[in-house]
Amino acid sequence: MNDDDFKRRLAELEEDRVHGASELARRCLRIAAASAFNAPAGDTGSLRRLLDGRAAAMAGARPSMAALGNLMARWRAALGKLPEDDLEAARRKAAEAALALVEESRRAVQEIAARTRELVGRDRTIITHSLSSTMLEVFHQLADRGVRAIITESRPLYEGRRLAARLSEWSVPTTFITDAQLGHFMQQADFAIVGADSMLPDGSVVNKAGTYLLALAANDQGVPFYVCCESFKRGTAEPKLEEMDAAELGAPGWPHVTVANLYFDVTPARLVSGWISEEGGPDPVFPPPDG
C-alpha cells in the first residue's frame, strides 16, 4: 500500500458515517497489516518509521472512537520489537501483530454477545439505537431464542435501516421507529442495550447521538440499560465529539440558522445499569469504586 493508497483509505475512514468504532478499528488494523506487507521501505528502521506514522494518523482519525487509538497504540508497541536485520521477517511480524489484534477484537465481540445472550434469556424484547457490529452479533446470537427488537432509523444517514435488513434476514420480529419514538416504545422493552464508540474514565459512554435519550427513557421506566463494549474502547480523556457535514440533514439553508450535525452524545455513568465487556459483566458500577 503506497502513500496515495493510504491517504485515500485514511480519508474514507475519516468520512465513514455508517460503521461503528469496533468495525472501523478492525479496518485500521487491516490497513496496518497491508502496509506492513508492502509499504515502500528499504530496511526495518524505515519500515518502522513509516508504519508508526500511519498508525498515528489512523489513531487520530476518529477522535470520538477510543478503540482506534488504543488498538493502534498496542500495534505501535509491537513495532518496537521488530527484528532489525531481516526486513521480510519484520514485515511479517508487523502484519501478524495487526491481524492478531483483529482476531482479538473479533473474539471480544463474540464473548460480549455470548454474555449478553445469557443475560437476556428467551423471548425478550431489546430496544437499541443506531447500528453497531457488537449489537449485530448480540442479535445474531439471540435470533434463535425468540428475541424481539425495537430499533431506530438513526438520523441523519439511517444506519438503522441496515440493522433492520439484517434482523429481517434472521427472522427477528422487529419494530422500526423514528428516533423520536424511542421514549414511547420503551414501555414494550425488557432491555435497552447499545454498543459504544468510547467509554470515558468516569464510566460515561460516547455513542451515536440519541443514546443519552434512550438511557434517560430506560431509567425513567425502570428498564435496565446495558452497554456492550470491548475493554479497549476505554478512553483516557474527554473525546472531541465529532461534528459531521450539516448537509447530511438535507435541510435547506436559512439565514441566522446553523444546522448542527453532532454524531455523538455522552451518557453519564449513573444512567448505565451495567457494562458487558469481553472481560466480564454485566458490572453494575464502572469504574469500580477503588478504580
| Residues labelled as active-site residues | 197
**Quick one: which of 67, 82, 58, 76 has its CA closest to 8?**
58
- Asked if 254 touches a second copy (CB under 8 A), the answer is yes
- Asked if 273 touches a second copy (CB under 8 A), the answer is no
| Only segment of 2-10, 101-109, 253-261, 275-283 that touches a second copy (CB under 8 A) | 253-261
Tell me, by CB under 8 A, how many residues bind a second copy. Answer: 50
**Peptide bond preceding 224: is omega within 30 degrees of 0, i.e. cis?**
no
Distance between CA 18 and CA 192 in Å, rounded? 21
**Quick one: which of 21, 103, 66, 60 has its CA closest to 201?**
66
Cell of 120: 437476556
- Asked if 242 touches a second copy (CB under 8 A), the answer is no
Site pattern 6..25 for a second copy (x: CB under 8 A): --------------------
- Asked if 249 touches a second copy (CB under 8 A), the answer is yes
Compare residues 5 and 248 and give the one whose CB is closer to a second copy: 248
- Asked if 168 touches a second copy (CB under 8 A), the answer is yes
Compare residues 99 and 216 and give the one whose CB is closer to a second copy: 216
Q: Within 38-77, which residues bind a second copy (CB under 8 A)?
A: none
- The helix-helix angle for 44-59 and 21-38 (nearest 10°) equals 160
**Quick one: which of 271, 263, 212 has its CA closest to 239?**
263
- Asked if 244 touches a second copy (CB under 8 A), the answer is no
Q: Within 186-225, which residues bind a second copy (CB under 8 A)?
A: 208-210, 212-213, 216-217, 220
Distance between CA 182 and CA 208 in Å, rounded? 14
**Least Cβ distance, residue 208 to a second copy (angstroms):** 7
Q: To which residue does cell 421507529 refer? A: 177
User: In the sheet where 264-267 sits, what is the strand order?
Assistant: 198-199, 205-208, 264-267
* Residue ranges in contact with a second copy by CB under 8 A: 129, 152-156, 158, 161, 164-165, 167-168, 171-185, 208-210, 212-213, 216-217, 220, 241, 249, 251-252, 254-262, 265-266
